[in-house]
Amino acid sequence: MNIALLGTGLMGYPMAERLCGLCKAGHAVSVWNRTRSKADSLAALGAQVHDSPAAAARDAEFVITMLTDGAAVEDLLFSQGVALAMHPGSVLLDMSSIQPAQARAHAERLGGMGIVHMDAPVSGGTLGAAAGTLVIMVGGKVTTFERARPVFAPLGRATLVGGSGTGQLTKLANQMIVGITIGAVAEALLLCEKGGANPAKVREAITGGFADSRILQVHGQRMVDHSYPPGARMSVQLKDLRNALTTAQDLGLETPITSLLEQLYASGVSTGLKDLDHSALHLALGQRNGMF
């Protein structure tokens, strides 16, 4: 296989590292990043580092995009020449998190050029990307999914959830649950701290009960430590919630809980927390209550 990965940011870089493991089996991996210095070190792992995204995509059977939003994906594909550089029959795996409507539009446009599109956003953060344990939510055709399995395998567990755009729809559902649960854990720990309980012991006490979750374990520990290094940024969580609200509005679905959390994340982002981990909603709510 010849695989290109475009975008070696917080998530893209460890994903590229995982893909470079395929080089030992004779497969080729090409990478590109807007700031080349963030991709250069991948050359030592066997990757070919390119100066332009079109150059990286030119000979690839599979092109993976891992970018910030739908506008960035569209610009890369249709303004920076990636789609024109790809061969008919090659596969675009968009692993960015964008709106389902954007994914469907990209699939239709690429299909007219003979290029197969799959939306395949991920969950699991930087830890999951480094460990190869990402949850990959895939929208597209069954035949393409089977063809792409060897590409997904080093990255995590892939599940085909439906046709074009449904991978992104599933990611929005994931982000709604994550964002809302972070809010619940943060508010609960703040309540206990305000009332005189030890937040670390509170987290320990409810572990294993119905309130336990991966959010409580991973993000709850960050809240206890008051340490929020970015795994998934506040600004990205806000973007995903806004995409969910836009999609819900298009479908005529009322989502009052997501609407409230969007406001709370937006407030945190506006006070300078945009580049912290999304668990920093705990910090935003603590500041709101004059606790930090």
Beta strands 122-123 and 134-139: pairing type? antiparallel
Instruction: Report, in angstroms and rounded to the nearest whole number, the Rg of the chain calculated over CA atoms.
Output: 20
Torsion (CA) 236, 237, 241, 242 in degrees, nearest 10: -30
C-alpha 29/C-alpha 232 separation (Å) is 25
**Residue 171 annotated among the catalytic residues of the structure:** yes
C-alpha 136/C-alpha 280 separation (Å) is 25
Q: Are 48 and 31 in contact (CB under 8 A)?
A: yes
Angle at which helix 166-194 crosses helix 281-288, to 10 degrees, equals 40
Q: How many CA atoms lie within 13 A of 147 on its CB side?
A: 17
Q: How many CA atoms lie within 13 A of 284 on its CB side?
A: 24
Active-site pick, 24, 38, 171, 239:
171
C-alpha 173/C-alpha 16 separation (Å) is 26
Residues catalogued as catalytic: 171
